[in-house]
Structure 1
């Protein structure tokens, strides 16, 4: 999205300092800022104002600041927009950007599968028209406005992922993005440390469908009772999806040796054969949610099937590779909760290798449920005949290794008889295990 700095100042209630220049896109990271972008210094563990000079050297055309222009910026007569709070200003800029867009906006939330559904929905809708989507997991108070502001002028649809760390968060994100279609993937035991109960999680996630206008569409998981019940919380039309129920469903599901699923997509608008590039049988559920979202914005069934078949997922989500040794590596290390961990373990169990090993780190933010949920995952792994190497947590029922390097050592010989799953919550950083195995 291209704006003049004066437009930015007006949109965020700031004061323009310096020449009125054009900006194209917004970045909050001085290391990746692109030529001509607006740099927004966020104050968190580190103060982004300390990196304004770096951003300007990298090519930023202007910057927001909650301080007086100073340091390297002043001598260069760089353009600044002074504001009281840079994060709040970024949110207002996102709100402004949404107001200048009249295409459909698909909002996606849920306890599991948000990013994969976002990626698949963007591919399915993108088969029909230029579509912009959140990069990776940009789903919070910074990521959502960045997604809105960084929409290319050519995009005719947008897909926005939304996360929640408390009640009211989704509602606030919806006030910025004003989705016309709202997708709720599933509700389960994730972030219960923050919410207290699964029912409270459902209450928060349902804020998405409550935000929809009557002309909008709520896409709900018919197989998840807490999500299906959200139909009573919206004035929008309701379109359901699911494996055992729903208007958008799959039949004849099969999974090949590479964990790629095929199925017949059945919808109110017709049927089509789908062959997913994404790995794991549980990706069928994500594909159904994405297909329903695409259907809601008017994409033809054949285009939906083609888009789903070509969809590529964000990094570290069910990345399946065969190592030089012939071993199979499943890198699903981006995040974990009991629902996604269960799905990943069942995918590992489906791999045709005599030895199946799961390198598992902590599932974070489960609160009082943590010990029981980890123990249940440990029991499931043993039931499936999967060896566990726990990293930095004993809750899976085994003595843990101390870190990722020790986990690699504990794996021992990884040959053509072996399949390895790497999974944990993001804070565990277990992608380093997958990287080390890939290097070998």
Structure 2
């Protein structure tokens, strides 16, 4: 974080400074990292005590103080010998703090900001952009999926006076949340990847999801750039909602940054990227899955707008072997068995893409096994979307389904009721049962996909299978 005095931080967050029992003064400088997790606090750090749904961060303030916190941001005074800023709402204070830090670093004239949103692919695209941009200059990007009202500002607070690029992942579960994050960071380039049914239950329907994702572009200025998915009919109308210049990415001829000659295999995906104006390049992309080509195109388009030459962008992308842990992560290898662990999260779109990839990359003459759990947060769409995935698995010719947990049982029922399929589907209640079933039935050369929403916990099953077949 940039160095600020306690007085400056107090002003930024709109709180009251308390220095009782400390040797600090309003002019004391703090420049440590900011966190809401007391376990991450280091000497000189700032701990924000946030009230959660199930716990209260104020309970962990003593631990943060013991680990060397230089400042606590709290909602009520605590009897601790550490400087404290008392605020009405710690999450609002965190956002205000991030806004001020971004403003100060922006004023130095070198910082460029990219905002990334969409129902799927945010973290992958953010990671790809980080890989490209950090070769050009000091870059800050979110850890894991730090994309909400807490994670996004914590990422912004990692800025220093030397930072040249900030890649801010912006997620939401309701109207107004992306707009709030955009106002904190004020992106020069705003990316909208795809609008699907992920979290549609939380948003209250697909129309509300579209409205929420549109907030990325409605907040952009005429001098900014909106990077939009030309192949998504829900994203295309967003061009009419923004004052920014629009750059399109996709597979179709209308895209400014386009992929052609796509070839997916077990080692990744190869494609040609063509840029409007005539420039093109061959890309050997090691990240598994044709659907990740769209994320790569978005990263390419944004990087070009930030002045990175196409050869440098392609060279950086070709060095990426894993988008993120638990996202199309290739494991295993013993007896030719491949485990694809893609169970960090799941929506109808990402589940469909993963199954299609499984069908594409299997070894000739071998079997495909899909171990699937629930797609959560779909609300009223849950039943029909699990039905659709069951039918898709059958029609793709997946050799074996292993369905885990009651939340995904409807997928299993739909699959076994599909008369055109002569394969099998097994239902089990737990990850342990799934592990036993898969390890006892896998044959040499099989390819196994593990896919579910985070809440189903199958990412750990994927890890176990990967280790077992390593």
Tell me the TM-score normalised to structure 2 length: 0.89
Describe the superposition over 1:88-130 as per-residue Cα deviations: whole angstroms up to 9, x where unpaired: 1111111111111222111111111111111112222233222
Matched, 1:279 2:279: no
Change (3 A) 1:10 1:238: same
Question: Relative to structure 1, is the Cα distance of residues 100 and 80 closer, same or farther in structure 2, using a 3 angstrom cutoff?
Answer: same
Residue 17 in 1 paired to residue 18 in 2?
yes
Counterpart pick for 2:386 among 359, 374, 377:
374
Per-residue CA shift, 1:183-204, capped at 9, x if unaligned? 0001122222123332321121
Q: Structure 2 CA distance, aligned partners of 1:226 and 1:156?
A: 32
Q: Secondary structure at the match of 2:72?
A: strand
Instruction: Identify the match of residue 193 of structure 2 among 175, 178, 185.
Output: 185
Distance 1:437 1:124 in 2: 32
382, 399, 412: which one pairs with 1:397? 412
Of 92-101 and 414-423, the range deviating more from structure 2: 414-423
1:409 aligns with 2:424: no
Aligned counterpart, 1:388: 401
For the residues of structure 1 that align with 2:312 and 2:336, how far apart are their CA atoms? 36
Question: Does the 8 Å CA contact 2:217/2:244 hold for their aligned counterparts?
Answer: yes
Pick from 22, 35, 53 the counterpart of residue 43 of structure 2: 35
Alignment of 1:230-269 (within 5 A): 230-245=238-253, 246-258=255-267, 260-268=268-276
Kept after mapping to 1: 8 A contact 2:105/2:160: no
Confirm or deny: 8 A CA contact 1:5 1:23 kept in the other structure.
Answer: no
Cα distance, 1:325 vs. partner?
A: 4.4
- Provide the rounded CA distance (Å) in 2 between the counterparts of 1:262 and 1:57: 52
**2:331 pairs with one of 315, 321, 343:** 321
Give the counterpart of 2:208 among 200, 206, 222. 200
- State the shift of 1:276 in Å: 1.5
Shift of residue 415, structure 1, vs aligned partner:
4.5
Of the three residues 374, 377, 386, the one matched with 1:362 is 374
Give how far 1:401 is off. Answer: 1.3
Contact 2:77 2:84 in 1 (8 A): no
Cα pair 1:144 1:177 within 8 Å, conserved: no
Q: Alpha-carbon deviations, 1:121-145, whole Å to 9, x = none?
A: 2222233222211111111100111
Corresponding residue for residue 356 of structure 2 = 346
Q: In the aligned structure 1, how far is the partner of 2:205 from the partner of 2:14?
A: 39
The secondary structure found in structure 1 opposite 2:295 is helix
Between the aligned partners of 1:57 and 1:313, the Cα distance in structure 2 is 36
> What is the CA deviation profile of residues 209-245 of structure 1, one whole-angstrom value per residue up to 9, with x for unaligned ones?
0000000000011111111111000010000000123
Distance 1:60 1:360 in 2: 43
Greater Cα shift, 136-145 or 379-388: 379-388
- Work out whether residues 197 and 349 of structure 2, in 8 Å CA contact, stay in contact via their aligned partners in 1: yes
Q: Distance in 1 between matches of 2:209 and 2:17?
A: 42
Distance change >3 Å, CA 6–CA 277, structure 1 → 2: farther
Which structure 1 segments of 5+ residues have no match? none
Equivalent of residue 333 in structure 1, options 313, 328, 343: 343
Aligned partner of residue 59 in structure 2, secondary structure: helix
Could you tell me whether the CA contact under 8 Å between 2:336 and 2:444 is conserved in 1?
Answer: yes
SS at match of 1:9: helix
Q: Is 1:23–1:62's contact at 8 Å kept on the other side of the alignment?
A: no
- Tell me how far 1:263 sits from its aligned partner: 1.7
* In 2: Cα distance, 1:319 partner to 1:193 partner: 28
Task: State how far apart, in whole Å, the 2-side matches of 1:243 and 1:34 are.
Answer: 46
The number of equivalent residue pairs is 434
Give how far 1:378 is off.
Answer: 0.8
Tell me the distance in 2 between the aligned counterparts of 1:290 and 1:303. 12
Which SS does the other structure have where 1:231 is aligned? helix
Which residue of the partner structure matches residue 210 of structure 1?
Answer: 218
Question: Which position in structure 2 is the counterpart of 1:53?
Answer: 62
Q: Structure 1 residues 305-314 or 88-97, which shifts more? A: 305-314
Pick from 135, 142, 146 the counterpart of residue 127 of structure 1.
Answer: 135
Query: Within 5 A, what are the aligned runs for 1:97-116?
Result: 97-102=101-106, 103-116=111-124
Residues 45-194 of structure 1 correspond to what in structure 2 (within 5 A)? Answer: 45-70=54-79, 74=80, 77-102=81-106, 103-194=111-202
Q: Does the CA contact (< 8 Å) of 1:349 and 1:356 recur in 2?
A: yes
Structure 1 residue ranges, 4+ long, deviating more than 6 angstroms after superposition: none
